[in-house]
Each structure stands twice: as C-alpha cells, then as structure tokens.
Amino acid sequence: MKPENPFVALLSLLVGLLFLSPVLYSIWMSFQTADDFYAGRVTFTLDNYERAIGQFNFARYLINSLIVSGLVTVLGITVATLAAFAFARFRFPGGDLMFGATVATLMIPSHISLIPNYLTLAKAGLLDTYAGLILPAISNGFACFFLRQYMRGIPKALDEAAYMDGATHLQVLWRIIVPLSRPAISSMALYIFIAEWNNYIWPLVAVGKQDLYTLQIGLARLYRINPGEGLIDWPLVMAASTITILPVLLGFLAVERHLVRGITMGAVK
C-alpha cells in the first residue's frame, strides 16, 4: 500500500528509521575495532565477526540454537496441532477440563516451572543434553489455544465430506485442516521459534557444557571477557548480536505474509 500524501510517506520513513536506529547502530558498530570505536574514529573491519566465530565459538552456538529452536518449533507445532485438532473437533470425557487446564497454563509465569523442570530432567539424566533443552519447551499452551480457536472457524462440513470420501481422522487433519490452518500454523511456528531463540534462562540452567551453549548464553558470556579492565568490547558484542538476530530476521521474511494473515484473521470475512 503506497501512501498518497508525500508528507505521510516521509513521516513513515522517519518513524521507521527511528525504530531501526538501534539495530542499524549496532550493525555499524560491529564493523569497528574496539580501539577506534572508543577513540571515536570510523573504520571498517570484519575482525569482530572472525573473532566471534573463531575465537569465541559462535559458529557452534549458532548451530546449537538452530538445532534447539528448529526442533522445538517442529515438535511444538506438531503437538499443538494434534492437541488443537482434538480439542476443536472431538468431544471426549474430560476434554473441556483438559482444555481449561491448557489455557490455565498461560497464566503461570514460566520461571515458576524452572525448578520442577530442572529436578525432573536431573532425575531423568537429561541435563547437559539437547533433549534437556528441547523437551520442556515442546508443550505450548498458547499455541494449542490459538490453533484450536482457528480450527473451530473451519467449517465442520469439510471434515465430514472428507470422512465420507474415506478419510481417517489423521488424513482429515493432514489433508484438510492443516492446509487450511496454514496462516495460523505459520504464525505460531514463527512465534515459537523466536521465543525459543531468545530463551536465556532455561539454557542457562539446563546446560553447563560449553559445547551445548546456545547463542544467548554465548552472547551473555561476551560481556564478561574483560572484567579486570572494566571495558566491554562492544564492537565484538555487536558482531555477535548481529549473528544472533540474522536467522530470526530471515525466518521472519520467509513467513511474513502468513504471519500478517494469521494476526488479522477473523477481522474480515
């Protein structure tokens, strides 16, 4: 949509730049050396990226974050979709109670479950493993609730037509409900991915081995590399931050169209 008024266009551009300025500033900073940055000189170097990836193991953290966030997204969406389908389409004993309990989990702050989750995983011997990072994040009450509401909006006659055509419950879900819920599923997938990508507390608690650090933990460690000198190497931190936000940005661009449709769904018939 193009604004017709040039003044509105200019104003939009300025507001957009205002919102983008911290990101642009940090990207600009990531190409400076620390000495030049503190001396107020402008230079250009890729040294910070080389150090972040080579010296501080950010390539490894990036892979860990991709594995953890990717699997949490895929498994989380799968579980939420199956549960949402059951809640949206079937009446079974205790169904309402279970859905109520699922919605109630939205009101529990995530930090409250930190210690019980830690103790459970410790008992299961899953601390310091990928499974320990992934499993607690798979069940997602909000995704389940959101998808259930969306699926309820899909006419039940479509399921019935598919059953008459010979489909099983899973075929109805996979061939009819999932394709028609794509906007909602895409938005939820992106939401889960971003939430997991930015997750700091749980990886900090569940993982001690440096090989399993995710980007957020690695990023936090960069603040502590020069404690004695009292100076933080901001250009290095900003290079690591840029590496951290890049995959999310690309992911967002990939599903942006669906995301907007997902958010505005139901607004227009």
Partner 1 sequence: MSGISLRNIRKAYPGGPTVLHDVSMEFQPGEFIVIVGPSGCGKSTLLRLIAGLERADAGEIKIAGKRANDLPPQDRDIAMIFQNYALYPHMSVRENIAFGLELRGMPKAERNRRAEEVARMLQLEPYLERKPGALSGGQRQRVAMGRAMARNTSTFLMDEPLSNLDNALRVAMRTEIKDLHRQLGATIVYVTHDQTEALSLADRVAVMKDGHLLQFDRPDVIYDRPANRFVAGFLGVPPINFLPTEKLPGCAGLAGSDDLTAGLRPDILAVHTAQPAGPSLAARVVMAEMTGSDLLLHCDTAAGRLTALAPRLALGGGTEQVWISYDLDRALFFDNQSGARVDYVPGDRQIR
Interface residues toward partner 1, by CB under 8 A? 155, 157-158, 160-168, 171, 175-176, 179-180
Are the C-beta atoms of 213 and 64 separated by less than 8 Å?
A: yes
Q: What are phi and psi of 230, to 5 degrees?
A: 75, 5
Q: How far is the CB of 91 from partner 1 (least distance, A)?
A: 9
Are the C-beta atoms of 214 and 61 separated by less than 8 Å?
A: yes
Q: How far is the CB of 36 from partner 1 (least distance, A)?
A: 56
> Nearer to partner 1 by C-beta: 209 or 269?
269
- Residue 207 CA to its chain's centroid (Å): 19
> Nearer to partner 1 by C-beta: 72 or 176?
176
Tokens at 86, concatenated? 């059951």
> Nearer to partner 1 by C-beta: 117 or 186?
186
Spatial CA neighbour of 237 closest among 57, 55, 48, 54: 48
Question: Cα separations (Å) of 89 from 21, 96, 144, 171, 210?
Answer: 47, 12, 13, 14, 45
> Nearer to partner 1 by C-beta: 164 or 268?
164
Q: What is the DSSP string of 87-126?
A: HHH---TTHHHHHHHHHHGGGS-GGGGHHHHHHHHHHTT-
Q: How far is the CB of 46 from partner 1 (least distance, A)?
A: 46
Q: How far is the CB of 10 from partner 1 (least distance, A)?
A: 39
> Nearer to partner 1 by C-beta: 96 or 211?
96
Spatial CA neighbour of 73 closest among 179, 191, 173, 250: 191
Q: How far is the CB of 60 from partner 1 (least distance, A)?
A: 41
